[in-house]
């Protein structure tokens, strides 16, 4: 595989879990719920999916149970943040710390440094090679040889856009987020809508974690999400909580991660420095977006005056 083909393939590879987390976080964001717990929910998806695959010996049973467990985590976040009116940021960080501690404890209890399910999951066999397309240079790297959840993540960009802007539920979510009192006045149960928004995010984060750990590596190591949940929040902010635009920022991070990995192969002793490239990219993108928005608001303010 040529360097460019490898970069394109890895871009899709690293974008998929981020896109799922972004799309999940979008629903909560639109409902005016700041879900800082995306990181913990994704880590729970990665940990529980690998653990259940290890215990049951079944890939899809493990992923299904992982979704159920992560939904419970979403319910806990919703109960404290929405019903009990606790601070979303503190609640989200609590979720993140809890999952990290829980996974560390269970690994130590099982006397395992990581959970390896390569004997159960054939990572290569999970990749779907599309006839004809796989033979096309560059395009084959983009469209062929990926897993089911990877393809699902990109399909869900369009599905999320349709749900958010063309369905009654999407209208309810946006109305609750923009003016909760007005929503209540027309009979919309804002609490139910917010719960549903958070739970959709939890389910998608579970799939993101499963893609990251089981589908791609057949391995779980503690804290393997490495801040991807926070990057998803940054992508949502940069993309103004629009499904396509926010997903593009997720893909930009995927590209940065891909470049870091592939270019590090030629960097020799300084290859470790390339690990900071994706995170530096997000900081730069956030700075540029904030600067552009500030300038736009300033110019608009002058026009109004």
What span, in angstroms and rounded, lies between the C-alpha atoms of 204 and 225? 14
pLDDT score of 256: 85
What span, in angstroms and rounded, lies between the C-alpha atoms of 279 and 185? 43
pLDDT score of 305: 53
pLDDT score of 284: 82
Do residues 71 and 203 touch, judged by C-beta distance below 8 A?
Answer: yes
Q: Kindly give the residue spans of alpha helices, DSSP state H, lying in 179-271.
A: 180-185, 190-210, 216-217, 228-238, 243-264
Q: Per residue in 13-54, pLDDT tens?
A: 899 999 999 999 999 999 999 899 999 999 999 999 999 999
Element (H, E) at 46: helix 38-56
pLDDT score of 16: 93
Cα of 113 vs its chain's centroid, Å: 25
Q: Is 219 helix (H, G, I), strand (E, B) or coil?
A: strand
pLDDT at 295 over 80: no
Q: How many CA atoms lie within 13 A of 111 on its CB side?
A: 0
Q: Name the one residue in this structure whose structure tokens are 């409902």.
A: 31
What span, in angstroms and rounded, lies between the C-alpha atoms of 286 and 173? 26
Q: Per residue in 187-227, pLDDT tens?
A: 899 999 999 999 999 999 999 999 999 998 899 998 899 88
The domains of the chain are located at 3-228
Q: Per residue in 159-197, pLDDT tens?
A: 999 999 999 999 999 999 999 888 888 889 999 999 999
pLDDT score of 271: 57
Phi, psi for 124 (deg, rounded to 5):
-65, -40
Element (H, E) at 116: strand 115-116
What span, in angstroms and rounded, lies between the C-alpha atoms of 104 and 283? 29
Give residues with Cβ within 8 angstroms of 216, minimum separation 6. 13, 123, 147
pLDDT score of 5: 84
pLDDT at 4 over 70: yes
Task: Pick the closest to residue 73 from 199, 190, 173, 212 (CA basis).
Answer: 199
pLDDT score of 294: 75
Q: Per residue in 98-135, pLDDT tens?
A: 999 999 999 999 999 899 999 999 888 888 888 888 88
Binned at pLDDT 50, 70 and 90, residue 289 comes out as confident
Length of the chain: 305
Q: Kindly give the residue spans of alpha helices, DSSP state H, lying in 57-167.
A: 59-78, 88-109, 139-143, 148-166
Angle, alpha carbons 195-35-236 (nearest 5°):
115
pTM surpassing 0.85? Answer: yes
Task: Give whole-number Cα distances, 150 to 97, 110, 159, 227, in Å.
Answer: 27, 30, 15, 19
pLDDT score of 287: 79
Give residues with Cβ within 8 angstroms of 226, minimum separation 6. none
What span, in angstroms and rounded, lies between the C-alpha atoms of 37 and 49? 18
Q: Per residue in 43-98, pLDDT tens?
A: 999 999 999 999 999 999 999 999 999 999 999 999 999 999 999 999 999 999 99
Q: How many CA atoms lie within 13 A of 117 on its CB side?
A: 31
pLDDT score of 143: 86
């Amino acid at each position: 595989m040529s360097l460019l083909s490898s970069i394109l393939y890895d871009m899709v590879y690293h974008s998929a879990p981020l896109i799922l987390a972004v799309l999940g976080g979008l629903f909560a964001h639109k409902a005016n719920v700041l879900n800082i717990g995306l990181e913990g929910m994704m880590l729970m998806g990665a940990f529980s999916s690998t653990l259940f695959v290890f215990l049951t010996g079944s890939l899809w049973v493990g992923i299904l149970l992982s979704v159920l467990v992560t939904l419970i985590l979403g319910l806990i976040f919703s109960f404290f943040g929405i019903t009990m009116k606790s601070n979303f940021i503190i609640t989200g960080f609590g979720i993140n710390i809890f999952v990290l501690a829980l996974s560390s404890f269970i690994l130590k209890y099982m006397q395992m440094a990581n959970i390896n399910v390569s004997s159960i999951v054939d990572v290569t066999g999970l990749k779907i090679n599309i006839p004809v397309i796989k033979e096309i240079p560059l395009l084959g790297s983009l469209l062929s040889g990926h897993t089911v959840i990877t393809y699902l993540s990109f399909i869900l960009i369009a599905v999320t856009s349709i749900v958010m802007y063309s369905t009654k539920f999407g209208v309810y979510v946006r109305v609750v987020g923009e003016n909760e009192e007005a929503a209540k006045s027309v009979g919309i149960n804002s609490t139910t809508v917010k719960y549903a928004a958070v739970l959709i995010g939890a389910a998608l984060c579970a799939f993101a974690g499963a893609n990251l750990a089981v589908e791609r590596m057949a391995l779980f190591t503690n804290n393997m999400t490495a801040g991807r949940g926070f990057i998803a929040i940054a992508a949502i902010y940069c993309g103004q909580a629009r499904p396509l635009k926010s997903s593009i920022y997720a893909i930009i991070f995927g590209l940065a991660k891909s470049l870091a990995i592939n270019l590090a192969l030629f960097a020799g002793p300084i290859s470790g420095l390339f690990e900071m490239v994706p995170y530096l990219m997000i900081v730069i993108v956030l700075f540029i977006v904030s600067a552009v928005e500030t300038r736009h608001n300033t110019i608009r303010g002058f026009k109004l005056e």
